[in-house]
Amino acid sequence: MRLLKTVEGLRCWLGKQSGSIGLVPTMGALHEGHLSLIRRARRDNDLVVVSIFVNPLQFGPNEDLDAYPRTLEADAVLCESVGVDCIFVPTASDLYGADFNDTNTLFAVVPPPALTYHLCGKFRPGHFDGVATVVTKLISLVRPQRSYFGQKDGQQLAIIRRLVQDLNLPGAVIGCPIVREADGLALSSRNKYLSGQERQQAVILYRGLRSAEETFKAGVRSQHYLARIVFQYLETAPAVTPQYVELVHPHSLAPLEKVETVGMLAVAAFVGTTRLIDNVVLRSRQPIIAIDGPAGAGKSTVARQLAHQLGLLYLDTGAMYRAFTWYVLAQGCDPKDEIAVADLLPKCDIKLVAVPNADGIPQPPDVWVNDTSVTQAIRTSEVTAQVSAIAAQGAVRQALVKQQMQYGLAGGVVADGRDIGTHVFPDAELKIFLTASVEERARRRQRDLANRNQPVPELTELAQVISERDYKDSTRKISPLRQADDAIEVITDSLTVDGVLGKLMMLYNENVITEE
């Protein structure tokens, strides 16, 4: 692991590296919350860079800049233990220039007022200018594929998402769930300031949010009631002075009167003299899980079983393309006649109906076209022979993606395909890129053919076919196969179906269910 103290040193080191980079910006005093970001970055990227910089620009005149804990030695040990490649620890004058205290000469990045008018922005003027400025600098220097921020600073995360999007900064912004102590207190470097008694009372922020969340689950949507619950909890702790409890949209940060689809209930309070924040994201729809990956990686088997385990609908997009292909053939239409095929789209109403799991074995959904059940008919060799060509037609793709998005409005689906996380459900709560080496997929295909008593080609021959299919899928114009930047890659080479499922359940619990 390298410890680099200058911008020049960092540039020089980066120049010699190749592969994807995950950046985890921090102010040090690392705890399990930071480590969860670093572990995710480690999993997603070839290289992990952690910056440690107590950024003076984001502290107000009466805030804790001087007292902020600085624990570089311990931080370095922790970083080493989780496989960080480089820690970047610049000084303020190296990063900003010698005049960094002089706001007349400093070039700053200022987020739009709509994002800073509420929540912490209202009480910490200039704070998010400092955050946006340093994050712009760090991302511009490191040019990561992905950068990682915690959901605990929910307003910061929303601002950084917009910053990266609006200023075309490189890489994806990955938000990671809040990590909590056993009693629920959100981890924060500032928890170090709390006395024993304050520490005991600090948990009331979480308890209030938890109670509001329970009330939300029971059907209460209004900001007024949800915020009042949190305030009532805060009032029970003498060391706690509330600053705000607000309900906003977690991305636009617009204040909400009530939760329509999703809301972030956020709280800030002083515990003694220490200012703590916390939040909970309330969703009125069930999550969406997007599983993409190359042919033969086991997506549909895994997606179906995962949907079954979680009680969600398996949105079998492959079955939808098959259903439309069946309809095209049943109408006697030439599949190559793109205009005639497109004309059939509005006449073909496809429905997927979840089958009750009486025997506990996950079933594929029942597929209906208009009033005909086609669950069996879509599996014939005639349909199989035509489905790829029809699914590659622009108008077909567009119409079926629209239908898939309709299913997503209500949430509660697991969908698999090639462009689910990148195109169909870019806001999915969990995105998985399920893949396996070409050799492994060739071996699986051999086993599959042997089980079905079909002729089994040589491994090299199958591997060649699979490689060509991968190339075609990832270079085609319409809906190419691509891993979403915020998707988690799962390589299934050495895993059984149960092993893959176990891993996906773990990722679901870590990334979607943030509160048990």
Helices (H), 331-458: 338-344, 381-391, 394-409, 438-451
Residue 138: exposure state from Cβ atoms within 10 A (0-12, 13-18, ≥19): buried
Nearer to ligand PAF, 34 or 118 (CB): 34
| DSSP per-residue letters across 261-294 | SEEEEEEEEEETTEEEEEEEEEESSEEEEEEE--
- Collapsing DSSP states into helix, strand and coil, what is residue 415? strand
| Smallest distance, ligand PAF to C-beta of residue 51, A | 7
Question: What long-range pairs does 344-353 form, CB within 8 A, spacing at least 24?
Answer: 345/395, 345/396, 345/399, 348/323, 348/324, 350/320, 350/323, 350/324, 350/400, 350/403, 352/313, 352/314, 352/315, 352/316, 352/319, 352/320, 352/407
Binding positions for ligand PAF, 149-168, rule CB under 6 A:
153, 156
We find the least distance from the C-beta atom of residue 134 to ligand PAF, in angstroms, to be 5
400 lies in the site for ligand PAF, by CB under 6 A: no
Give the active site residue among 31, 34, 308, 423. Answer: 34
Closer CB to ligand PAF, residue 41 or residue 352? Answer: 41
Nearer residue to ligand PAF within complex by CB, 156 or 191: 156
Distance separating alpha carbons of residues 156 and 165, to the nearest angstrom: 14
- Local structure of residue 250 (DSSP, 8 states): T
Residue 111 interacts with ligand PAF (CB under 6 A): yes or no:
no
CB 28 → ligand PAF: shortest distance, Å?
A: 8
User: Minimum distance from CB of 35 to ligand PAF (Å)?
Assistant: 13
| Burial class for 360, CB neighbours closer than 10 Å (0-12, 13-18, 19+) | exposed
Nearer to ligand PAF, 144 or 408 (CB): 144
For the question of residue 34 being annotated catalytic, the response is: yes
Strand partners, 241: 270
Tell me if 279 contacts ligand PAF by CB under 6 A. Answer: no
Measured distance CA(54)–CA(120) in Å, rounded: 18
Q: Which is nearer to ligand PAF, 134 or 141 (CB)?
A: 134
57: its two tokens: 């620009």
Under DSSP, the state recorded for 169 is -
d(CA 407, CA 402): 9
Stretch of 129-137, 201-209, 277-285, 435-443 contacting ligand PAF, by CB under 6 A: 129-137
* Nearest distance from C-beta of residue 130 to ligand PAF, angstroms: 7
Query: How many Å apart are CA 97 and CA 74, to the nearest integer?
Result: 28
Number of residues that bind ligand PAF (CB under 6 A): 10
Q: Which residue has the tokens 């109403």?
A: 349
Q: Among 67, 74, 83, 19, which residue's Cα sits nearest to residue 52?
A: 74
Q: How far is the CB of 173 from ligand PAF (least distance, A)?
A: 11
Check residue 135 for interaction with ligand PAF (CB under 6 A). Answer: yes
CB of 30 to ligand PAF, least distance (A): 10
Would you say 134 or 302 has its CB closer to ligand PAF?
134
Neighbouring residues of 335: CB distance < 8 A, sequence distance ≥ 6: 325, 328, 329, 341, 386, 389, 390
Select from 352, 353, 335, 351 the least CA-distant residue to 396.
335
User: Which listed range, 75-83, 130-138, 349-357, 376-384, lies at the site for ligand PAF (CB under 6 A)?
Assistant: 130-138
Total number of residues shown for the chain = 516
Q: Which stretch binds ligand PAF (CB under 6 A): 128-136, 250-258, 283-291, 355-363?
A: 128-136
Q: How far is the CB of 375 from ligand PAF (least distance, A)?
A: 50
CB of 25 or CB of 250, closer to ligand PAF: 25
β-strand pairing of 488-491 with 430-435: parallel
Binding flags for ligand PAF, 36-65, as an x/- string (CB under 6 A)? -------------------x--x-------
| Site track 15-34 with ligand PAF (rule: CB under 6 A), x = hit | ----------xxx-------
Binder to ligand PAF among 29, 134, 282, 374 (CB under 6 A)? 134
Nearer of residues 58 and 191 to ligand PAF, judged by Cβ: 58
Under the rule (CB under 6 A), what is the footprint of ligand PAF?
Answer: 25-27, 55, 58, 131, 134-135, 153, 156
Q: Which residues are catalytic?
A: 34
